[in-house]
Structure 1
Amino acid sequence: MLNELKNIARDAGAAIMDIYQSDDFDVQKKGDDSPLTKADLAAHNVICDGLRALDTQYPIISEESSDISWEQRKHWCRYWLVDPLDGTKEFIKRNGEFTVNIALIEKGVPIMGVVYAPVLDAMYTGERDRGAFLNGKAISVATKEPDTLRVVGSRSHPSQETIDWLDALGKPYEMVPMGSSLKICLVAEGKADIYPRLGPTCEWDTGAAHAVLSAAGGQVITVAGEPLLYNQKEAYLNPHFIAR
């Protein structure tokens, strides 16, 4: 199934790139004032069609089709969690730091995930008990904490609360700017030590990269120290979290 997910992610990436290389993004504003482009919708359609064609069928929650009642989805044991284009702001800026994200969630835990950055041709995959990979090569989190923490942070929306939290650690650190779910993936491949997210995110923003990080030996916890779980409440908004 993981190989099929990789193929679906590549197909979605190709649909995104067709629009990325054009001059017509058709940028709109969603209800929360976040941007939406033709590429978001094209990738959404490719991914949903691909998942529905699989032999094993699970429900789908996508950022672009998330209007599913809590009464319906709270009973799901397994489901797909999809962000067709994470980093739409990076897409519009044309800096290449955007991703296709597909995760399989089981009882609130991401057990399989694919994060594909089409401009970089970087395919991150992770599966519970089977490890994490970047373009087929095994990756793992850093095994030793350095004297200076490498802290990955948002390129589009840095948070003053995050800066204050880091200063309170009392440890030297350097910032590693990155967009989209690639921030968590950098921790998974050992290129960063920690990603504190003390700002708003939704479950589809993190599910796939969370699966990759877990498979690479890392973890995503809330600031209270509890595991970050999915589909445990009516709202899709994540609590503040630390990926490490």
Structure 2
Amino acid sequence: MIITEQNIEQIITIAIQAGEKILEYYKKDINVEIKEDKTPVTIADKEASKLITTALQKAFPEIPFISEEENIPEYETRKNWEYYWLIDPLDGTKEFINQTDEFTVNIALVKNNKIYFGLIYHPIRKLTYYALENQGAYKISGSKKIKLSKTDSLTNNMPLIVAGSRSYSSQTFNTYIESLNGNFSKITIQRLGSSYKFCLAAESSIHLYPRFGPTSEWDTAAAHIICNEVGLVILQPGSDQELEYNKESLLNPHFLVCNKDSLDLLNWLKTPS
């Protein structure tokens, strides 16, 4: 399958419509359920998922999907899929519930277990980020569309801006950041929610995003290709290998988002796997 400009416009429209559906419930008195994996879910998650999956199946009936809020196909069913959609209809449900404005719609197209296309829509800021393999990454704000520049490699003694999760922190994160103190003149941590962190990294507003908390493949998929197209990688722990997709378990290991040429300053290969 070749993704065309027309296809991209279709997917952008679907994401925006999902964002509008989510905002119908924002800052309203809604019920919060707790799923088996101990994460929250709301009617906004469910309605956005229904909208996205229905629209994608209508536009691309030959392509199956995995969505966080739908029944997940068994591994034996999906392991040989060539293409499939990987969807987080409301990434940052905790931020949505806590009314921090930091939540997104994530839609990715996976090809042979690699991310081929990814789109992130920020409903509050009305920002769209997307990327297609080997075609660059783009940001759309209103009628303005810009191609994101390649990120610069990190240098010794520069000030470093690090993204941290707003909803999850750990001593492991703190210890890792402390290990970088000798390599950078100053380290500033910005606590943020959802996949918007990846978008800021792709724009070079953030230099580093280490994640030691739990995530799933739908949390990173759309962001992964956006990051790759600007020279960022999303690395597995203690490795220079990137995250993998369509595993038997859809849980991610912890990971690091960074410029691909900066590993020598980041002590990541010393991180326990």
Smaller-chain TM-score bracket: over 0.9
Amino acid at match of 1:31: E
The 10-residue stretch of structure 1 (102-111 or 141-150) with the greater mean CA deviation from structure 2: 141-150
Q: Deviations over 1:9-52 (max 9, x none)?
A: 0000010011115x232211111221110100010011001100
| 1:138 and 2:147 correspond | yes
Q: Name 2:168's counterpart in structure 1.
A: 157
In 1, Cα distance between equivalents of 2:149 and 2:61: 29
- 1:96 to partner: Cα distance: 0.7
User: Is the partner of 2:232 in helix, strand or coil?
Assistant: coil
Pairwise CA RMSD of aligned residues? Answer: 1.4
Amino acid at match of 1:80: W
Q: Name 1:82's counterpart in structure 2.
A: 87
Q: 2:206 aligns with which of 184, 189, 192?
A: 192
Amino acid at match of 1:93: N
TM-score of the aligned structures, taking structure 1 as reference length: 0.95
| 1:227 and 2:216 correspond | no
Question: Which structure exhibits the higher relative contact order, with contacts defined as CA atoms closer than 8 Å and separated by 6 or more residues?
Answer: 1
Q: Name 1:171's counterpart in structure 2.
A: 183
The 10-residue stretch of structure 1 (55-64 or 233-242) with the greater mean CA deviation from structure 2: 55-64
Q: Name 1:236's counterpart in structure 2.
A: 250
Fraction of identical pairs, as percent: 40
In 1, Cα distance between equivalents of 2:196 and 2:225: 13
In 2, Cα distance between equivalents of 1:56 and 1:128: 22
Which has the higher Rg, Structure 1 or Structure 2? 2
Amino acid at match of 1:230: Y
- 1:234 to partner: Cα distance: 1.3
| 1:6 and 2:18 correspond | no
Q: Deviations over 1:42-73 (max 9, x none)?
A: 10011001100114631100001142111011
Amino acid at match of 2:240: G
| Runs of 4+ residues deviating >2 angstroms | 169-172
Q: 1:34 aligns with which of 39, 59, 77?
A: 39
In 1, Cα distance between equivalents of 2:167 and 2:16: 25
Unpaired runs of at least 5, structure 1 = none
User: Is the partner of 1:243 in helix, strand or coil?
Assistant: strand
**Matched residues, number:** 242
Q: Deviations over 1:63-106 (max 9, x none)?
A: 01142111011111111000000000100111110000000011
Instruction: Please say if residues 131 and 138 of structure 1, whose CA atoms lie closer than 8 Å, have aligned partners that are also in contact.
Output: yes
Q: What are the residue-to-residue correspondences of 1:29-68 with 2, within 5 Å? A: 29-55=34-60, 57-68=62-73
Q: Name 1:17's counterpart in structure 2.
A: 23
Q: Name 1:114's counterpart in structure 2.
A: 119
User: Is the partner of 2:131 in helix, strand or coil?
Assistant: strand
Amino acid at match of 1:17: L
